A and B are shown apart, each in its own frame.
Chain A
Amino acid sequence: MTDAALEHVEMVRRPVRRVLLGSVRELALVPAIAVLFVVGIFTSPAFFTTANFSNTAQFSAALGMVVVAESLILLTGSFDLSLQSIYGLAPMIGAWLIVSKDAQGLGTKWNPGLGILVVIGIGAAVGLFNGFMIVKLRFNAFIFTLAMLILLAGLQQGIVSGRTIYDMPPSFIYLGGAYWAGFPVSAWVTAAVFLAAALFLRYHRAGRAIYAIGGNLEAARAAGIKVDRIRIGVFTLAGALAAVAGLMIAGQVVAVTANQGNNLIFTVFAAAVIGGIALEGGRGRMIGAFTGVVLLGLVNNVLVLRNTSTFWIDAANGAIILIALGLARVVALVRT
């Protein structure tokens, strides 16, 4: 090869060192996940089985979906606390419209397909509303979405007077209850959504615009990016994803309780942040958020297999999150 040709090859390929260095932040959790695997294998013979992984995947699928949603918003430099209430209220209303009065429904007995559309529509509508109020009317994201969280959770309780909706038709619970090739459909779907989001963020110009907006909003605007439209669009998409996640969990437990989604948002933030999604926006990747979800799912799984009292699981989760944050900080310091 001539020198010029060598130079050409060098020009188009990214140096391996740079690729690895760029991924340090995203892959910081991989060693922790490996350790958990080892601990899991020594803890119980039931750990390294397809059935256990299938269960863990099902347990994490709905959470993962909301993590994708929140991560997208976080990357634009904002956030939405009310995703957890969308996760509860949207499937609640969908189910309410399609089941009989005996099963705590309204009695309208709509077609389940229509019910699913209603679920997604409510999620998107709430997301759009939040996005519009925060982006266009400049409400503070924290206090506005907190108010929405409380309002929507209250509606969820009020509509069914605190009762649980059950007896939902098979098509409505298919997403959360069915299996493909031995693994839950919800896990396949969430994995696909992670992959799609990762590719979108990497290769679509709107995905790159999300990073630009979170990194320097004014510079993004100056570069001709339609900042407001993309920010509101991300809120809307995230709302729809959170609603689908709620549909998953409803299918898994074959019911919609009046407090579905309670406290979920803390775990969502934890998974995203320990996975390297920066709270200040513009930094982080889906692969990182994915490892965050996997880590939290494995921690829970190992604790359950060790017969840890359920009353201690939250404390263990909190400790793991703190340790992961500490590791991420160390990685950041090493990089600079």
Chain B
Amino acid sequence: MTFDPTTEEGRPEHLRPPAAEAEAIWKSFARTEALQDVSVSVLPGECHALVGRNGAGKSTLVGILTGLLKPDAGTVRLYGEPAPAPGDRAAWQQRVACVYQRSMVIPSLSVGENIFLNRAEGSLVHWRELRRQARGLLLEWGFDLDVDQPVDELSVEQKQIVEIARAIAIGARFLILDEPTAALESRAIERLFERVRRVKASGVAILYISHHLEEIYEICDRATVLRDGRRIVSAPVTELDHERLVAAMVGGDLARTSREQAAVAVDGPPRLRIRGLSAATPLGSVENVSLTVHAGECVGLFGLRGSGAVTIADAVVGLVRPSAGAIEIDGGVGYVPEDRHARGFVPTLGVDENLTLSILDRLSRLGFISGPRRREAADAMSERLQIVASSGEQLLSELSGGNQQKVVVGRALAVEPSVLVVVSPTVGVDVASKEVLLGVVDRAREDGTAVLLVSDDLDELRICTRVLVVRRGAIVRELGTPPWDRHELISAAEGLEAA
């Protein structure tokens, strides 16, 4: 029997089953409980926000609602019917469509073909019919796209439209939007909201995931907040004021940053000066950003993914070319990248080689490296960072995440930089390594290094002497002397401040 949600439309609204209903879902990976007894239901014609900090369990829940993950316990019902079998992708696709942050279009194919991807009836593709239907669908929904244009010529916003159109074409009546605004500029966001409203009005249920809480108040009807794998609250957004929403996300305890950095008098000379920096990247553009970091100061850039905080760091180290503005650096720069696996170290080389990769000119003569001098330099660094390795020859790929990250930090410090740029240095490392890493960065600051720390983890910010909050490519708030109010930080980063 084919699935036909349209038969439901004749019924009065209160008798219609929810478009999606997850009940008492449990899911664990290895040792972590990703979801514990989570229930959520999304009604037809409703935009339902799913909110939570990183690691709260949102992605796991999306995986379960799209059939990519199987819950350990609990049930999923779609339009009142039990969910299809896990392997039955076609059945899942008829019911649920998900627009991921990562674009799921085929760049070399046309808009029309992407919309009707793999949906030919029978074995032949009828191009005229496909183009006609795609054109009709785009017209009907007011999506302004040329069906014949190759998708790789489209903007991020237009690719997203293709994905939404595809979901509509499949006939899915439950649509998941995973951070749809992350890569969009403000006018494009307005247009997206318009589309979301139109789709919603046609009776499609939407699960809307976003870090930007102001968006939720703008287009969502209800919100569910997850924290540490548990559902904290589900309520109409009108009953969730900002205060309550942030409290649900952050939790009641630890209202202030845990260890309080003693106030530091800024008397060192300026080491890093950014003036009017603008840069456009898909990962978060910034516009007209200015800031100064002095010697002996640790400035935190706190922002969500896509806010542009990382782009500022990338511009300082020269990985992103600014379209405007000036960056002045007094001395050398050390850099601890966000993605240590891609940019941080060479997994196939040993600890010593990795630690000294950036200072080989100092350890060699005529290009030949002096073994003893290198060992000496590497040993000193290993000790300072408490790197646990069987020997200096042990390959980085064999070390734990925490020790790998220590090597990355050690290499950045080996050049004795006057400016140290650090991006999320403790993501995915154990608690003990986290203490060591933050301690080392803090000591470098005490020794006179100017530190720029980019992070979305409040716990990392505790070593900062000053915090700048970045949102949508601009610095929206400066918090001077610690301690800082966690609610205030998160509200500013998520855009919940009273204007």
Contact = CB atoms under 8 A, between A and B. Distances in A.
Partners in one complex: yes
Interface of A: 11-12, 14-15, 18, 22, 202-206, 208-209, 211-212, 214-216, 218-220, 222-225, 282-283
A29 to B, nearest CB: 20
Contact of A12 (B106, B120, B131): B131
Contact of B106 (A14, A202, A216): A216
B363 interface: no
Contacts of A212: 106, 109, 117-118
Contacts of B149: 18
Given A215-B109, A282-B107, A14 B118 contact: no
Contact of B93 (A203, A216, A224, A283): A224
Nearest to A280: B108
A149 B124 CA distance: 35
8 contacts: A11-B136, A18-B148, A202-B125, A205-B124, A211-B108, A219-B104, A220-B117, A223-B117
Contacts of B6: none
A206 B113 contact: no
B128 interface: yes
Nearest to B128: A12
Contact of B89 (A14, A209, A224): A224
Given A220-B118, A222-B89, 7 more contacts: A205-B125, A209-B118, A212-B109, A219-B103, A219-B105, A219-B117, A223-B93
A205 B109 CA distance: 13
A216 B123 contact: no
A225 B135 contact: no
B117 A22 contact: no
A211 B109 contact: yes
Interface centre among A202, A206, A212 (most CB of B within 10 A): A212
B131 A208 contact: no
Contacts of A18: 146, 148-149
B132 interface: yes
B132 A208 contact: no
A132 B120 CA distance: 27
Interface in B109-161: 109, 113, 117-118, 120, 123-125, 127-128, 131-132, 135-136, 146, 148-150
Contact of A219 (B106, B128, B132): B106
B90 interface: yes
B108 A215 contact: yes
A225 B120 CA distance: 12
A290 to B, nearest CB: 19
Interface of B: 89-90, 93, 103-109, 113, 117-118, 120, 123-125, 127-128, 131-132, 135-136, 146, 148-150
Nearest to B94: A224
A209 B127 CA distance: 15
B89 to A, nearest CB: 5
B124 A283 contact: no
A153 B123 CA distance: 38
Contacts of A12: 128, 131-132, 135
A216 B104 contact: yes
A283 B107 CA distance: 9
B454 to A, nearest CB: 29
Contacts of B128: 12
Interface centre among B123, B132, B148 (most CB of A within 10 A): B148
B38 to A, nearest CB: 24
B120 A205 contact: yes
A214 B108 CA distance: 9
Contact of A205 (B104, B123, B131): B123
Contacts of B132: 11-12
Given A14-B131, A208-B113, A224-B93, A203 B125 contact: yes
A279 to B, nearest CB: 13
Contacts of A224: 89-90, 93, 118
Contacts of A216: 104-107
A155 B379 CA distance: 54
A225 B106 CA distance: 13
Given A14-B148, A209-B118, A215 B106 contact: yes
Nearest to B153: A336
Nearest to A278: B108
A299 B148 CA distance: 36
A25 to B, nearest CB: 11
Nearest to B166: A223
Given A14-B131, A204-B125, A282 B108 contact: yes
A194 B274 CA distance: 59
Given A209-B118, A216-B107, A224-B118, A11 B125 contact: no
A257 to B, nearest CB: 40
Contacts of A205: 118, 120, 123-125
A220 B106 contact: yes
Contacts of A209: 118
The 6 closest A-B pairs by CB, nearest first: A215-B106, A219-B104, A282-B108, A215-B108, A205-B120, A223-B117
Contacts of A282: 106-108
Contacts of A14: 131, 148
Interface centre among A212, A219, A220 (most CB of B within 10 A): A219
Interface centre among B90, B109, B113, B132 (most CB of A within 10 A): B109
A11 B106 contact: no
Contact of A22 (B93, B106, B125, B150): B150
B107 A215 contact: yes
Nearest to A8: B132
B114 to A, nearest CB: 9
A222 to B, nearest CB: 6
A225 to B, nearest CB: 5
Contact of A208 (B90, B107, B125, B150): B125
Contacts of B106: 211-212, 215-216, 219-220, 282
Interface centre among A12, A204, A218, A223 (most CB of B within 10 A): A223
A22 B104 CA distance: 22
Nearest to B139: A11
B84 to A, nearest CB: 12
Interface centre among B117, B127, B132, B149 (most CB of A within 10 A): B117
A208 B114 CA distance: 10
A223 B90 CA distance: 8
Contact of B124 (A15, A204, A214): A204
A214 B109 CA distance: 11
